[in-house]
Amino acid sequence: MYSENLTKGAINAPHRSLYHALGWTNEEIAKPLVGIVSSYNEIVPGHMNIDKIVEAVKMGVAMAGGMPIVFPAIAVCDGIAMGHVGMKYSLVTRDLIADSTEAMAIAHGFDALVMIPNCDKNVPGLLMAAARVNVPTIFVSGGPMLAGHVKGKKTSLSSMFEAVGSYNAGKLSDEELLEYECKTCPTCGSCSGMYTANSMNCLTEVLGMGLRGNGTIPAVYSARLELAKHAGMQVMELLKKNIRPRDIMTEKAFKNALTVDMALGCSTNSMLHLPAIANECGIKLNLDIANGISEKTPNLCHLAPAGRTYMEDLDEAGGVYAVMNELSKKNLIETDVMTCTGKTVGENIKGCVNKDPEVIRPIDNPYSTTGGIAVLRGNLAPDGGVVKRSAVLPEMLVHEGPAKVFDSEEEAQAAIDAGKIVAGDVVVIRYEGPKGGPGMREMLNPTSAIMGRGLGSSVALITDGRFSGATRGACVGHVSPEAANGGMIGIVKDGDIISIDIPANKLELKVDQAEIDRRMKEFVPKTKELSGYLKRYAAMVSSGAEGAIVNK
């Protein structure tokens, strides 16, 4: 055990004196040191219950013979950060979380780790740290929120943002908006649809780093505390067997993650996070393979915002393992991959039946024969753009229309609110990429305003920024190269015709090539005065097509 380099022998008496300063006994010092990374705070609804998860994990570790030691990780609530400068500080925390966890874990010589994330950037940030540190590690999340109920229908955060759009369009009264406000988010937990947090917690199960139910057991269920205790006990088994994150997160595991991503209809943010996590494992995850996987992977779930089912429904239907079992019926899952259970994927999912074919469609009766996410390419996005195909209305899978161009989210939002966006338009929001934003803000306010105004069946949106998992509609994000890096999205003008063909994976600017060449020759990307962490991040971050990896 690595901790013995700090706890054994006369040379380490100074270390032991500091452990005694913590109130540790000799018996505790002699045990394996297990770091418990707590993302608890009092501002993020998905993290307010993590203190209880931590206590359960500590009990599990102690019961199995380890010494549990808690240290923190930061967390930003994307919903609260949405629509203002705070969203520039969302994606960038992924790397802060990975860096600080790496520093704490290695500096203090932990033998094993239990990661307790929940919301959007904590999950990938801690998975990145797990790969770097590479000591036996297991994940247990805080769990998803229960759906809200308004006027007899289940709701989620996307319903709330769209309600604001309806209110601004005069379709909802003050009283109706207040009812949404008070009833949409009824419990602690990560927001109740298949948004980024829940997507990544489900994919943590698929990658083999979390026990069954990690992604789906609701935050308020006592079963979540039982799961946490089992995670604490299981990390000690991983330590005994010396099973490490890079033994689990293999190339086959990432292929499984992309496959289940397509079947679940996960957030487009997974196309940023999976390559970044893979990079830390020494694996290059080229998104060119995403469309190949999508072509043969049926979309089995339409959770909010794509449909009217929620995380609690997926849990009751059998959860992630049931989805994987359905996929395995057509040999779409690599079953020989090791997981944190100490067993293979095939052993884990055996007998995990689909209990509700309305929530998880059987493999022979999918929502579509292709997956929930598509990567588009063309002259406007030679390095790619990403769309959540499963959340696009059928009539918008192919769309062509005039561009309405904006150099920031705020400019676009003002135009939408003023009624300046009309049926047929393609809204273009640029200088919101990883470098240009910086921080690649989520465009949930504009996309929700479009839906709330009843324009979801006639207006598309493209951006070099990204989207919340709560976004639905013909919305193409991660357009690369971004405007700040000289990408063609930077030369689009009002009135230019843009063609979006999702089935054909195409995104094109319909402008004469000679005119494109002239514009590109004259194009000088806009710059922003930056300071602090964002200045450093903008200088170091890679393209969204590469996962917005820092220090690449």
Contact 515, 478 (CB under 8 A): no
Please give the torsion angle defined by the CA atoms of residues 527, 530, 536 and 540, in that order, rounded to the nearest 10 degrees.
-10
> Residues 277-281: contacts with CB within 8 Å, 24+ apart?
277/124, 277/127, 277/128, 277/131, 277/207, 277/249, 278/249, 278/254, 279/547, 279/549, 279/552, 280/98, 280/127, 280/128, 280/131, 280/132, 281/131, 281/245, 281/246, 281/249, 281/250, 281/254
* Nearest of 303, 254, 301, 248 to residue 276 by alpha carbon: 254
d(CA 405, CA 430): 8
Angle between helices 444-452 and 157-168 (to 10 degrees): 60
Under DSSP, is residue 197 helix (H, G, I), strand (E, B) or coil? helix
Instruction: Please write down the HEC assignment for all residues of 210-261.
Output: ECCCCCCCCCCCHHHHHHHHHHHHHHHHHHHHCCCHHHHCCHHHHHHHHHHH
Active site residue: 448, 468, 499, 543, which one? Answer: 468
Instruction: State the Cα angle at 137 between 129 and 51, rounded to 5°.
Output: 85
Is residue 452 within 8 A of residue 165, CB to CB? The reply is yes
Phi, psi of 410 (to 5 degrees): -60, -40
Rounded to 5 degrees, φ, ψ at 70 are -95, 135
Which residue's entry shows tokens 């999912």?
Answer: 349
3-class secondary-structure state, position 426: strand
Structure tokens at 438: 């910086």
Cβ-defined contacts of 545-548 (< 8 Å, 24+): 545/287, 545/383, 545/384, 545/478, 545/480, 545/481, 546/275, 547/271, 547/272, 547/273, 547/274, 547/275, 547/276, 547/279, 547/285, 548/91, 548/272, 548/276, 548/434, 548/440
Does 3 qualify as catalytic in the annotation? no
Of 104, 99, 96, residue with least CA distance to 76: 96
Would you state the structure tokens that stand for residue 367, as one six-digit string?
């929502």
Q: What is d(CA 172, CA 59) in angstroms, rounded to the nearest whole number? A: 49
CA distances in angstroms from 422 to 171, 411, 443, listed in the order given = 17, 16, 18
Q: CA–CA separation, 259 vs 253, rounded Å? A: 10
Q: Which residues are catalytic?
A: 468
